[in-house]
Structure 1
Amino acid sequence: MNAFSRRTFAGMLGVAALTPLLGGCSSEATVSVQEGSETAQDGAADNGTRTVDTDKGPVEIPTDPKTIVSDYYLGELLAVDVKPVIASPYALNNPFLAGMCDGIEELNTVSAETSLEMIAEKQPDLIITITEADYEKYSKIAPTVYIQDGKRSDEDLFRYIASLVNKEDAAEAYINEFNDKVATVKDEMVSIVGDRTVSILEVWPQEIYTMGSRFARGGSILYDMWGLKAPEAIQSTMVDGDETYKVISVEALPDYAGDFILYGVLDGADSAYVDDSQLWQNLPAVKADRVLPYEQVAFMHRDPITLTNQLDIFVDFFRAHENDAA
């Protein structure tokens, strides 16, 4: 995240394949919308190719791509039984994808040259990237679809990626099953939480991040799908508003800490400056043991497999507090 210029996943993950953690970038290209959701649109087919609308404009890709490289969007592909030949180490390290990645090679990120050489050797017919900075480099190797991080809802992102590999029906079936699971337990979760608030806090070296419903970590389930409330400082800007995250100080914790806290720590970061502080230890959620530690490397993803696992974790967490006094 180039010290977090935008703190998007593009900065955190995909860019590292070729350059030291750069921030995400915006795109002015539009993506076609069909029946309220985004899918890759078929253009005039010619010799086994089709034209799709992307965040970099129209791109001609194979009608039925077989050899795929992705520097981030791995869980979306695996969810529809498509296995790329190369994926980024950040995606492959997602523990929720364990056991599904056999045969996928880890992108060599020693340098830009080694990454590009490795990709070229596979002779891919489609590259899917989160990293705008690498788009031109990738496009010289194979047809490349750049997907701007944070532009789409989780569902529409999944639908769009599935449409690139002709798996729309499989994606829709997965989405319907997931939504049914979320809806089945919604009333129960709302009843347990009641009028209390839920917040997501994540510790980085000397920085605390708080997120709402637009920055992964399961926020879309908690706030959008279940309608749980965050503390007002989060609710007004990061759930009801367009802000994705905010960096806060230890002193600001009381304003951002909910009655329930999801708590992540960046791998390798020392969280003692938070954990040992009197402000943290005196938070109602901490004193009542209503804190859910999460594995940051897993929760930073928003693919359907990760979301399904997050859902199960949330249900178990809230059920454990079913008898807590509201």
Structure 2
Amino acid sequence: MKSLKKVGVLFTLLITTLAMVGCASTTTEEKSTAMKTVQTDKGEVEIPENPKRIISDYYLGEFLAVGVKPIIVSPYALNNPYLKDDIEGIEPMNITSSETTLEQFSAAKPDLIVTITEADYEKYSKIAPTVYIQDGKRSDDETFEYIASLVGKEKEAKDYIEQFLQKAEEHKQEIQDIVKDQTVSIVEVWPQQIYTMGSHFARGGRILYDLWDLKAPEKIQKEMVDGDKQYEVVSLEALPEYAGDFVLYGVLDGTDPAFVTSSNLWNSLPAVKNGKTLPYEQVSFMHRDPITQSKQLEIFIDFFEQFKE
């Protein structure tokens, strides 16, 4: 009888222990699948508190800057040279067709999709909780902070932004003393087209015009810095009106820029004659994520410091 009682006691203890383990497992599982409600550009959406399998059809540098690596991202974002050291293991979106993209997303079993494409929102939201971020609605920093908040990395984003702005501010007076009353412009060469832009279309314009208060040629300053216009396509003949004393210029990948850079007009520009041109890699400068902007800041500092008297 005593032996039976001992067995009974041990059995009871075993059941109790298993029950406790079961409760602990349930609690852990509940934590990993806990949801939170976020305000998005499509209204309130429930997303995981701690999403692990994230897909984005645009944003990448914003996630990487706070130590989060999505599982699938647009090849457009993966092509950014400034992010190449952090993208190992990320799968490029299959953009052969919308059907192949949806098949890929479904097979990946994401727990969060972040999209810049409103037209795809309904299709994506049938696969997983989806956050649509309207392009241009927020400043670059606001977009970064918003994306960081989706993955619980608000502090990391604030710290990153603070360090970036502090570095820009530390060099502001130095750069202004170098540039003085000279103008700075951004020019981009596409097939048989020339684009000029100010502070609203990436390419580092935010740093030059908004953070450092450098001035652009009058036409650019009025419409694309002080105004809301993002860019303007200009003819080669009109380029002197848009070319500043310093010219930053990029060339779209695969484009032969000779129709501009080999022309007498281009080579007669003061910036070209005085060696005050900065060629940039268009495939990277077209992005606006925090990692890219930090790299642009370093490039600009090095460029302008060449002309320190």
Q: TM-score range by the shorter chain?
A: 0.7 to 0.9
Counterpart position of 1:187: 173
C-alpha distance in 2, partners of 1:79/1:92?
Answer: 14
Partner of 2:236: 250
Give the equivalent residue in structure 2 for 1:272: 258
How far is 1:76 from its partner?
0.2
Deviation at 1:230, TM superposition (A): 0.4
- Confirm whether residue 108 of structure 1 aligns to residue 108 of structure 2: no
More helix by percentage: 2
Aligned to 1:148, the other structure's residue is in SS state: coil
In the alignment, what sits opposite 1:292? 278
Letter matched to residue 203 of structure 1: V
How far off is 1:191 after superposition?
Answer: 0.5
Q: Report the Cα distance in structure 2 between the residues aligned to 1:131 and 1:123, rounded to whole angstroms.
A: 20
Distance 2:173 2:74 in 1: 38
What does the per-residue CA deviation read over 1:247-298, in whole Å, with 9 as the maximum and x for residues that have no partner? 1111110110010011001001121111122211111001111110001110
Q: How many residues are treated as equivalent by the alignment?
A: 278
5 Å-filtered alignment, 1:52-71, equals 52-71=38-57
Matched, 1:238 2:192: no
Which of 110, 114, 119 is 1:133 aligned to? 119
1:83 counterpart = 2:62? no
5+ residue gaps in structure 1?
1-46
Amino acid at match of 1:62: P
Cα separation, 2, equivalents of 1:308 and 1:250:
32
Long gaps (5+) in structure 2: 1-32
Q: Percent identity?
A: 66
Letter in 2 for 1:238: M
| Structure 1: distance between partners of 2:248 and 2:238 | 17
What TM-score comes out, normalization by structure 2 length? 0.88
Greater gyration radius: 2
- The Cα shift of 1:217 comes to 0.6
Name the aligned partner's letter for residue 162 of structure 2. N
Counterpart residue number, 2:9:
none
Shift of 1:60: 1.6
- 1:119 paired residue number: 105
TM-score, normalised to structure 1, is 0.83
Q: CA RMSD in A?
A: 1.2
Which residue number corresponds to residue 22 of structure 1? none
Per the TM alignment, residue 65 of structure 1 is displaced from its structure 2 partner at its CA by 1.1
> In terms of mean alpha carbon deviation, does 270-279 or 299-308 score higher?
270-279
Asked if 1:319 corresponds to 2:305, the answer is yes
Matched AA of 1:69: I
Post-superposition offset of 1:222:
0.5
Q: Secondary structure at the match of 1:135?
A: helix
Q: Which residue of 2 aligns with 1:201?
A: 187
C-alpha separation in 2, matches of 1:167 and 1:302: 19
Residue aligning to 2:132: 146
The structure 1 segments of at least 4 consecutive aligned residues displaced by more than 2 Å after TM superposition are none
